[in-house]
């Protein structure tokens, strides 16, 4: 343990209103703390400069999954285990469940939360590609009020999201009835379990007589943020996924992503794999 633990304060707010009041108080005085699976690792490594945290873990307002005809709404402290076990999510949003199953280990899944994952904003996170493909919206709340924002566009840069001062992520909302005929999610990591992704690809499409009528593609670990490959999507939309179209799409993809060399992998590998996964996705649309 590299940090001076007595110097840290983790406080349980009295209730949800108290949590928001404290968040609004001295700006930046308190930072939210959910399941701790990211923050405790930083604490251990001596890399957690902030000292005062608000424990959201027990707030009932942040727990639970609600299903309405239009949406599935996951409150921010929904764990990966809860996602994996939810029947409607398994049926209608399988990529989110697959991402949850490939996040860390079972012990991590029991404590890691979707809201915490989004707030941590790591480009290597496993769920955001699925969320972006499913056109997720984020419910944000502060003492100043509440708003819904599209997740796409919310991620400004490396580990930076567009949260206003005092705001908390309250929920994640997924629109139902998108009628995708294909959901394709593939995470390429360092090993088969407990792996940080080197490339993560999520794609969903609607096809009609072999033609792609709509397609959404999102990738992780190939840019400072998880991104929607909108230019690549444009190339594929309305087309049959035949070789010339695929090649054009792969070239567009190469221009849209910005993979780097780091201690886990290389830019060259990430680019090649991203393009190969795009090909595998497109091939799956014809079968």
- Site residues, another protein (CB under 8 A): 1-12, 33, 36-37, 40-41, 43-46, 51, 53, 55, 57-58, 81, 104-108, 110-111, 188, 190-196, 198-199, 263-266, 268-269, 272-273, 276-277, 279-280
Q: Given the complex with another protein, which of 105 and 143 has the nearer CB atom?
A: 105
Q: Given the complex with another protein, which of 196 and 248 has the nearer CB atom?
A: 196
User: Cβ 250 to another protein, closest distance in Å?
Assistant: 12
Q: How many residues does the chain have?
A: 287
Q: Given the complex with another protein, which of 108 and 207 has the nearer CB atom?
A: 108
Q: Given the complex with another protein, which of 85 and 211 has the nearer CB atom?
A: 85
User: Cβ 83 to another protein, closest distance in Å?
Assistant: 14
User: Cβ 154 to another protein, closest distance in Å?
Assistant: 26
d(CA 106, CA 282): 31
Q: Given the complex with another protein, which of 36 and 203 has the nearer CB atom?
A: 36
Q: Given the complex with another protein, which of 104 and 128 has the nearer CB atom?
A: 104
Question: Taking the mean position of all CA atoms in its chain, how far away is CA 30?
Answer: 23
User: Cβ 196 to another protein, closest distance in Å?
Assistant: 6
User: Cβ 11 to another protein, closest distance in Å?
Assistant: 7
Q: Spell out the residues 6+ positions from residue 50 whose beta carbon is closer than 8 angstroms to its own.
A: 31
User: Cβ 124 to another protein, closest distance in Å?
Assistant: 11
b/e per residue 237-272 (b: at least 16 CB within 10 A): eebebeeebbeebbebbbebbebeeeeebeeeebbe
């Amino acid at each position: 343990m590299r940090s001076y633990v007595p110097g840290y304060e983790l406080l349980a707010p009295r209730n949800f209103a108290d949590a928001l009041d404290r968040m609004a108080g001295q700006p930046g005085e308190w930072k939210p703390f959910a399941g701790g699976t990211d923050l405790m690792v930083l604490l251990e490594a001596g890399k957690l400069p902030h000292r005062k945290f608000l424990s959201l873990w027990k707030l009932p307002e942040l727990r639970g999954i609600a299903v309405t005809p239009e949406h599935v709404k996951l409150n921010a402290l929904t764990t990966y285990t809860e996602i994996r076990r939810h029947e409607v999510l398994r049926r209608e949003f399988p990529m989110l469940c697959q991402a949850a199953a490939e996040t860390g280990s079972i012990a991590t899944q029991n404590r890691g939360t979707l809201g915490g994952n989004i707030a941590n904003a790591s480009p290597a996170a496993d769920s955001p590609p699925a969320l972006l493909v499913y056109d997720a919206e984020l419910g944000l709340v502060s003492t100043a009020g509440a708003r819904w924002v599209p997740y796409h566009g919310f991620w400004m840069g490396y580990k930076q999201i567009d949260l206003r001062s005092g705001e908390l992520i309250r929920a994640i909302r997924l629109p139902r009835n998108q009628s995708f005929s294909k959901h394709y999610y593939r995470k390429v990591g360092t090993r088969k379990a407990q792996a940080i992704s080197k490339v993560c690809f999520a794609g969903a499409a609607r096809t009609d007589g072999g033609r792609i009528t709509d397609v959404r593609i999102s990738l992780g670990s190939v840019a400072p943020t998880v991104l929607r490959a909108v230019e690549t999507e444009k190339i594929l939309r309305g087309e049959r996924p035949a070789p010339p179209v695929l090649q054009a799409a792969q070239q567009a993809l190469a221009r849209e992503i910005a993979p780097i060399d780091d201690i886990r992998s290389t830019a060259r590998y990430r680019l090649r794999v991203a393009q190969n996964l795009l090909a595998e996705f497109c091939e799956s649309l014809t079968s």
